[in-house]
Amino acid sequence: MCGICCSVSFSIEHFCKDLKEDLLCNLKRRGPNSSKQLLKSDVNYQCLFSGHVLHLRGVLTAQPMEDERGNVFLWNGEVFSGIKVEAEENDTQVMFNYLSSCKNESDILSLFSEVQGPWSFIYYQASSHHLWFGRDFFGRRSLLWHFSNLGKTFCLSSVGTQTSEVANQWQEVPASGIFRIDLKSTSISKSVVLKLYPWKYISKENVIKECVDSVTQISANLPKFVSVVANEAKLYLKEPVVPLNMMLPQASFDSHCSNISNISPTREILQVFLTDGHMKEVVQQFIDVLSIAVKRRVLCLHRDDYLTPREVLKTCDRKANVGILFSGGIDSMVIATLADRHIPLDEPIDLLNVAFMTKEKTVPTSFNKKRREQKNCETPEEPSKNAAAAAASPDKQFTAPDRITGRAGLKELQTANPSRIWNFVEINVSVEELQKLRTARICHLVQPLDTVLDDSIGCAVWFASRGIGCLVTQGEVKSYQSNAKVVLTGIGADEQLAGYSRHRVRFQTHGLEGLNKEIKMELGRISSRNLGRDDRVIGDHGKEARFPFLDENVVSFLNSLPVWEKANLTLPRGIGEKLILRLAAVELGLTASALLPKRAMQFGSRIAKMEKNNEKASDKCGRLQVISLENLSVENDIKT
């Protein structure tokens, strides 16, 4: 995880040597291990590059990087496959070495077509005055752009800032492909022209039409002085996943398993599916490909084992390197189970479970005195007194649905592997703490997204990934802060496996054909709907979000299956949606969690209960509207 930024000016009066302080601060939070700036000036333009690194693998490599020809590279990504990166190597250096050897546009596109893993990048070619930038196919890393002063300046950044000026100045760079701008030409013509090299899996004959469609859609959201055009050579990036299998069954699908469509979900019903040899084989293949995806994401990080021999450091004193956004639901349970396979046994795993207090309640006098007298959850980040009190408050104030299923999931994991230290981190958030930190930090991270749903999920993920809470063991409460730099999340499972209620509605009204289209649409919009926001929110703590369900091989495997092998929505909730994942959970030895129905994070954590009851998820959220900078002065009083 890194914070990367490039500020470009095309007129002398707008040249500057430093980024604005608030933008610089936001970038540094993403990359606390190294910060560096580099200024590249030409007669016609100036580029200010700013790089802030979170060190996760290989040798700490400061950014921006510059080679002997003056080329500059900023990289916020992880190479998990496709390009060979040795264990001791840093992927930023490897990628820059390859880029420096590229002789033409086609070479650059071939390189990024090969990379498997999340990324966003900015690359300056000094000799041609070209600036390349973009995000991976799914948009798993945030990159924003901001055009101002009628084309005299523009900025690319991992994260933006709030401003009291025109709203929505920052926009997400579409994950439609890679963009290129000719800086010299732009400075002369005074108009910004972005050339698009789109992602395509299909044949070259169809590239032109689809690229034109993408260009039209992107241009509609940009200022009039900015235009997007298809590249003249009709070059494109190769999509990293196979197309979605849209095949429909020859026989009526409604007849499948109709004899069990009206009974309550049980583990025995799932076992029936596993008696089918083909289905059992498909489930095992899914487990294998997902297990490899998790393995790459929990082992591709720097561990301090070489500093402290294991025999010297007690297991109970070891720190978790990996945290999991954990509700106890099917997605997080499967990820935790697979992570347990690959993370060293003497290394704890942090299970990050967040709950919001709907309203203040009086502490019952009969509550265990020892529990009440426990020390408040003071942490190195020194959150407000209210947050500390909330973390040590009685359970009844924070008995959210996800807290209940989370504790049940913890017991399952402890039963499966009692040798592992499972840190179940109870993260309790009061109304006051939510309101204060939403204003001070979360607001600008969620933007440019602006709905009630974005507010709820953005806040929930921010507090969960921050990891400040308590461990409750044997009735004792201990303050705890997760220092895990890697945070695994289950996003992508619902989108691919028909996990949302809207999938069921679509199936009921338009059958399997409609369900296929819904799944295709969900995956197609995940970059703009979810991933940029989640990357900005989690990255604000100097941590990196990793998404096993969106591994290229996992998506390709699931895309290759007919829809009825992934979900069967003729069956009741708790079985039919995400059927293949539930069967995998059974094969992995999970019990009650395999049957839990989908529950959205905003409801499971109870954050949705803290706001207006008449709000719709798609409504614009007033709590996220741009506010004056004066109102952000509260941030100076909060050490986070």
Within a 10 A sphere around the Cβ of 619, how many other Cβ atoms? 14
Could you give the angle at which helices 277-299 and 552-560 cross, rounded to 10 degrees? 170
Dihedral angle sign, alpha carbons of residues 286, 288, 294, 296: negative
Contact 14, 153 (CB under 8 A): yes
What letter represents residue 463's amino acid? F
Residue 174 gets the label, from left (phi > 0), alpha (psi -120 to 50) or beta, of: beta
Q: How many CB atoms lie within 10 A of CB 250?
A: 6
Active site residue 25: no
Quick one: tokens of 273? 């599916």
What letters, b where the CB count within 10 A reaches 16 and e where it falls short, cover 562-601? ebbbbbbbbbbebbbbbbbbbbbbbbbebeebbbbbbebb
Query: 3-state SS string over 294-322?
Result: HHHHHHCCCCCCCCCCCCCCCHHHCCCCE
Alpha carbon distance 49, 261 (integer Å):
58
| CB neighbour list of residue 83: distance below 8 Å, 6 or more residues apart | 91, 94, 95, 98, 111, 114, 115
- Position 561: which residue type? L
Cβ neighbours for 92, distance < 8 A, ≥ 6 positions apart: 61, 63, 65, 73, 75
**Which amino acid is residue 118, in one-letter code?**
P
Distance CA 133, CA 156 (A): 9
Cβ-count burial 447-463 (b if 16+ within 10 Å, e if not): bbbbbbbbbbbbbbbbb
CA-only gyration radius of the chain, Å: 25
Do the strands 34-41 and 46-53 form a parallel or antiparallel pair, or are they unpaired? antiparallel
Using alpha carbons, list the distances in angstroms from residue 528 to 135, 237, 454, 518, 522: 11, 19, 11, 16, 10
Contacts (Cβ under 8 Å, ≥6 apart) of 577: 497, 498, 499, 500, 503, 504, 567, 569, 597, 598
Helix (H, G, I), strand (E, B) or coil at 514: helix
Residue 131 to residue 173: CA distance in whole angstroms: 14
Check 2, 5, 300, 470 and give the catalytic one: 2
CA distance 13 to 129: 21
Inter-CA distances, 385 with 129, 374, 381, Å: 52, 15, 12
DSSP letters spanning 70-113: --EEEEEE---BSS---TTS-HHHHHHHHHHT--SHHHHHHHHH
Cα dihedral sign for 556, 582, 269, 599? negative
Distances in Å between the Cα of 106 and the Cα atoms of 99, 110, 273, 295 are: 11, 6, 47, 32
Please state, in angstroms and rounded to a whole number, the distance separating the CA atoms of residues 595 and 583: 10
**Within the chain, what is the greatest distance between any pair of CA atoms?**
76
Encoding tokens for residue 310? 């294991």
Could you list the active site residues? 2
